[in-house]
Structure 1
Amino acid sequence: MKNIKTFVAVIALSAVSFGSFAQSITASASTLDAAEAQIAAQAHQAGASYKITSARFNNGAYISAELTK
């Protein structure tokens, strides 16, 4: 039983530590390429990589991304 509690605690703490490195950012521009360039610049400035989580084009381009280190 003690092993199970320890295992659950390790998993919970691992999830918290990995989640703390993620940061959500957004950008808007007239084109998707320009908005992605803004995301890339923000990621570069933060020293992180990025993953686009959503993008839409409705009278302008809007992109959301998640930075990870």
Structure 2
Amino acid sequence: MKNIIKTTIAIIALSATALSYAASPQMVSSSEAVSLQKIGVVSSGGFTSLDKLDASLAMKAADAGATHYRIIGASGNNKLGGSAIIYR
């Protein structure tokens, strides 16, 4: 019985993780974006690494219902900010 409960919990946790990756927008290049529908722009700032900025822009794109995004600018010295066009 304990094994069934542990297995069920593990399956639920792995399913939630897989769904979050499946729902994450994909970064695209400008040439790949030509065939997509632009739905807006998102911005974010205050990050200490490009990876954190990218993750924040991807999260905002997902919240807006985007399936793809393209970073169009990033700047800053100690704190980085940037913008991305979002697509469907």
What range describes the TM-score normalised by the shorter chain of this pair? 0.5 to 0.7
Q: TM-score scaled by structure 2?
A: 0.50
Q: Is there any run of 5+ residues in structure 2 with no aligned partner, and where?
A: 1-36
Query: Hey, what's the Cα distance between the residues in 1 that align with 2:62 and 2:39?
Result: 14
Q: What letter is aligned with 1:43?
A: A
Q: Matches of residues 34-53 of structure 1 in structure 2 within 5 Å?
A: 34-48=52-66, 49-53=68-72
The answer on 1:65 being equivalent to 2:87 is no
**C-alpha contact (below 8 Å) 1:35/1:62 kept by paired residues:** yes
The structure 1 segments of at least 4 consecutive aligned residues displaced by more than 2 Å after TM superposition are none
CA RMSD in angstroms, aligned pairs only: 1.5
Query: Offset of 1:60 from its aligned partner?
Result: 0.8
Q: Distance in 2 between matches of 1:58 and 1:33?
A: 15
DSSP 3-state at the match of 1:66: strand
Aligned residues: 50
Instruction: Name structure 1 gaps, 5 residues minimum.
Output: 1-17
Residue deviations 1:13-68 (CA, integer Å, cap 9, x gap)? xxxxx5xx431111111211111101011111222111000111322111111011
